[in-house]
Chains A and B, each alone.
Chain A
């Protein structure tokens, strides 16, 4: 079973920041937080991951709370092509369990 809880769906206006929350209250010290997304009919695509510190790459930023029990994925300027299902995953080694994810719809 997935160790994360995410909202089922969210909307975001094009050009605005999309903030996707994730709860992982049972995360252990060795487990990383990963984010993937899946655009319709495609394979999941890696976005970002982190252990304790906040992370940023060309796609997104990941904010992890100090107690590591929750995190937020930020897409700074959402575009229509960011419409997808976003999965938050707690991972230790190769045990990567996908939950239901958040369906993000970016609207013009």
Chain B
């Protein structure tokens, strides 16, 4: 298995532009998570999906952020408009509940976003 795949790996954009981050979870996993990591705040959970349905988006910082999961193999995190304070590494993770909710989450390599 290729693991969780994220694209792009690096993104540099200018303030005000729309940014779309992409994630392909591990096949068969029914949970998908989006995290953000910064030096100041560490690793934060933004939103997670179960069977393509958003369950908890309380970590999404504001209305400029939105996430979708149109099918079991694809999710996007969109920032519109982007701001310099959105600069961070964004991780996607997936997990399977075939053996219970406590299964481990598998993380992707992350997307390093820089907003100028």
Residues of A within 8 A of B (CB): 32, 34, 41-46, 49, 87, 91, 93-100
Across the interface, do A100 and B42 meet the contact criterion of CB distance under 8 Å? Answer: yes
Residue among A32, A44, A49 facing the most chain B CB atoms (10 A cut-off): A44
Specify which of B4, B45, B106, B110 is in contact with A96 (CB 8 Å cutoff).
B45
Partner of A94, one of B48, B108, B110: B48
Interface bracket on B: 20 to 34
Find chain A residues with CB under 8 A from B93 CB.
43-44
Tell whether B107 is near chain A: CB-to-CB under 8 Å.
Answer: yes
User: In the complex, what distance in Å separates the CA atom of A96 from the CA atom of B108?
Assistant: 16
The contact sample of 13 A-B pairs, CB cut-off 8 A, is A32-B102, A41-B110, A42-B110, A43-B4, A43-B91, A44-B91, A46-B106, A93-B101, A94-B33, A94-B55, A97-B45, A98-B43, A99-B42
State the majority secondary structure of interface residues on B: strand
Shortest beta-carbon distance, B46 to chain A, in Å? Answer: 12
Taking a contact as CB atoms under 8 Å apart, the answer to whether B42 and A46 are in contact is no
| A43 and B109 contact, CB distance less than 8 A | yes
The yes or no answer to B31 lying at the interface (CB within 8 A) is yes
Residue B51, interface by CB 8 Å: no
A42 to B93, CA, bound (A): 12
Min CB–CB distance B87 → chain A (angstroms): 15
**Measured between alpha carbons, how far is A97 from B35 in the docked complex, in Å?**
10
With an 8 A cutoff between CB atoms, is B17 at the interface?
Answer: no
